[in-house]
Structure 1
Amino acid sequence: MVKTNRDKLIMQSIQGQIAHPTSIYPYRLKHDGTSHILPATGGITYNVQVGDPAIGWAGDHIEPGVSIKAKDEKANGALNLLACIGNEAKVVSGDAKGAKGFVTGIHGGIEHVMIYFKQEDLEKMSIDDQILIKAYGQGLAITDMPEIVLMNLDPDLLEKMNVKIAPDGYLEVPVVTEVPAYLMGSGLGAVTAAKGDYDIMTADPEANAKFGLDQLRFGDIVLLRDCDNTYGRGYLKGAVSIGVIIHSDCIKMGHGPGVTTIMSCKTTKIRGIKDPKANIARYMGVKG
C-alpha cells in the first residue's frame, strides 16, 4: 500500500438532482456521414451499469446508472470539480431516500456526475430526486512520489487498486489496456483534468482491435501513453496518465468511450501492469 496524505484531506457535502435527458436537434451525425436518432446522456439508465460493456450499445455517450446535475451553474461547477470516483452517494429525497451508491465518473461538456446504485434502488427513483455525495479525494497525493498528480479519486478506492511502488521507483498500476496519445480526441486542450473527461476515438476498427478498445467496460482502468493530464490535457512524449472509462462509445467524429483521469505524471514514472480485471466495479465489490 502506498503512503498518502489522506488524513489531511477535506470531506465535504455536494449535491445534485437526477438530470433529465436533453435534446434539441434529433439527429446525431456518425463519422461515416449517416444520421441517427439514439438515446444519449442523462436520466436513470436502468440496463447499463459500471462493469458492463462500454461498446456496442444502440446509444451515444451513454452514462451508466444515474446521472446528476445541480441546477445552479456555480453549484454544478463545484459538484463536478469535487466529486471523486468511489465517493459515497446517498439519495436524500423521493421513494429511494436512504439508498447508497458510489460515484463512477464525471462527464465533461454535459457536466454530469454518474453514480452506481443497486437495481432495486433505481426502480424507486425519479427525475429531480436529490443525491448527496461525500466529496473526498481532491488534493490526494502519494507522499513518496510528489511528481505524480492524483485527482478525481477517493482514497479508499486507491487503497483497493493494488497500486505499488516498485523497487526501481516506478508506480505500478493495474490497467486493462494502454492507449496511445494519437487516439485521444474530444476534450483535448482542456485547462484541467480535475473534472470531466476526454474521449478515446474509435472510428478506426484496426486500432480498436489492436488496443482492445472493442472490449472496454464501464469502470475499466486504462493507461494513456504520452498524455500529460497534470494541469490540463495534451501530448507530451514520455508522460503517462491513468483514467477510468466513464461513458459509452460514441458515433460522432473525434469521440468514443470517455476517460476521467485519476493520476498523471510528466515522466514515465507510472508503469501499467496488464490486468483484465482492473475495473472499479470489482474494486467496489459490485461485480466479479
Structure 2
Amino acid sequence: MDVPLPFVMEPATRAATSPRTNESRLVAAAVAGQVSHPIVYASPYRVGRDGVLRLLPGSGGIVLNRRVGDPAVGLAADHMEAGVSLHNNGREVVGPRDGPNRALMFYACVGNRARVTSGPAEGAQGTVVGKHGGINHVIVDFPPHVKRRMRIGDRVQLEGYGQGLELPDFPGVRVQNLSPRLLRRWGVRTVRGRLLIPVTHTVPAELMGSGMGRSEGVLGDLDIQLSDEGLVRRFRLGSLRLGDLVAVCPLDYRYGPSRRPGTITVGVVVHSDSKVAGHGPGMTPLLIAPAACVRLVCQPQANLALVLGLRRLMGAPARGARAYRF
C-alpha cells in the first residue's frame, strides 16, 4: 500500500474553509421508482466462504427495524439494505429496456431528498443513502413510523441533484453520486491546498471484492471483504456501520474500481455484511482524489445518520465503542 493508512488519519483543524463548487451550474431532475419486493433466487441458501449454507434475509423491500447508523457487520442478514429499496420497473421502447431504472440509479445522489407519491404514507419525506449495484436498487432512509405505513409498490420520487458536481480548486478530484447537501454538511474543508475529509475508517484496497470489473462508478457499489481477520482487526472493520463514510486506499473509482497507487476513494457504506466469498459491506463512491491533495480526518461521527441529521442517536455501538449524539 503506497498510502500509509495508519498515519494518514489526523485531528480536525479549525483553520479551514469549505471547498468551492460549481453548484450554480448543476441541473436537478425528478426521477422515480417503486418500493421493490425482496428477491429470492433459485435456491434460498447462501453458500458462505466457509462452506456453510445459510438462510438469511437479503436485499430489497422495506427494512423496518434497521437504518443508517446501525451496525453493518454481525447481523443475521446478507446484503441487507437498511431502508426502503427502490427500483423503477418501467420498460422503455427506445434504448435499453431497463433504461428507466438505470436513469434512477444514475441521477440519484447520496443526500438527495425523496418524497412518497402514493399510498398511505404519501407526502412523507426521506433521504437517499446509497446505491446497490447488481440488484440495482436506490436506498432511501425514512423515519421508522413512515416505513411502517409504506407498502411494497408505493412510488417514491427523488430530486436527482449532484451528478456533474465539481471542485474547481481541485481539478484532480472526481465527485460522483454526491449531493451538494451532503457535501455542505459532511464537513469537508480545504486548508493549505489540501482537502480535509472526515471518515470513520480507512480500508486497504486489497480487501475490495464484488463490484470489481465494472466500467463505471455511478450505478452501484463495491464490497469490502471481511475474510482477512488480521486486517479486519487492524482497521477496526468489525465496527463498520451503515452510513459510515470510509476511505479506501489506494483505489481509483473514476471509470470503475481499480487499484491505483496514489489515489484514494471515499464512499459510504450502503448495505450489510455477507459471508459469501468476495462479498461484504458495500460502499458507494463519493470522492476520488490523488492522495497528495487529501488529508483524512478521523471522526467517528462521520456517518450519514449524524451528518444529515437523520437520527439523534445511532444504534447500539460495537463492543468498546461509544454512541455519538448529534
* TM-score grouping bracket, smaller chain normalisation: over 0.9
Return the letter of the residue paired with 2:24: D
In the alignment, is the contact (CA less than 8 A) between 2:166 and 2:174 conserved in 1?
yes
Measured in 2, the distance between the counterparts of 1:231 and 1:139 equals 15
Q: Name the structure 1 match of 2:189.
A: 164
Of 246, 271, 281, which aligns to 2:270?
A: 246
Return the letter of the residue paired with 1:59: A
Measured in 2, the distance between the counterparts of 1:6 and 1:198 equals 27
Q: Name the structure 2 match of 1:148.
A: 173
Q: Name the structure 2 match of 1:51.
A: 69
In the alignment, is the contact (CA less than 8 A) between 1:240 and 1:268 conserved in 2?
no
Calculate percent identity across the aligned residue pairs: 41
Q: Which runs of 5+ in 2 are unaligned?
A: 1-17, 91-97, 312-325
5 Å-filtered alignment, 1:1-288, equals: 1-24=18-41, 25-72=43-90, 73-167=98-192, 169-287=193-311, 288=326
Return the letter of the residue paired with 1:148: V
Return the letter of the residue paired with 2:122: K
Measured in 1, the distance between the counterparts of 2:107 and 2:55 equals 33
Measured in 1, the distance between the counterparts of 2:76 and 2:230 equals 21
Q: Is the radius of gyration larger for structure 1 or structure 2? A: 2
In the alignment, is the contact (CA less than 8 A) between 1:230 and 1:266 conserved in 2?
no
Measured in 2, the distance between the counterparts of 1:201 and 1:192 equals 20
In the alignment, is the contact (CA less than 8 A) between 1:230 and 1:265 conserved in 2?
no
Q: Which runs of 5+ in 1 are unaligned?
A: none
In the alignment, is the contact (CA less than 8 A) between 2:301 and 2:307 conserved in 1?
no
Instruction: Give TM-score scaled by structure 1 length.
Output: 0.98
Q: Which structure shows the bigger proportion of residues in strand conformation?
A: 1
Secondary structure of the 2:211 match is coil
Would you say how many aligned residue pairs link Structure 1 and Structure 2? 287
RMSD: 0.9
Measured in 1, the distance between the counterparts of 2:104 and 2:286 equals 17
Instruction: Give TM-score scaled by structure 2 length.
Output: 0.87
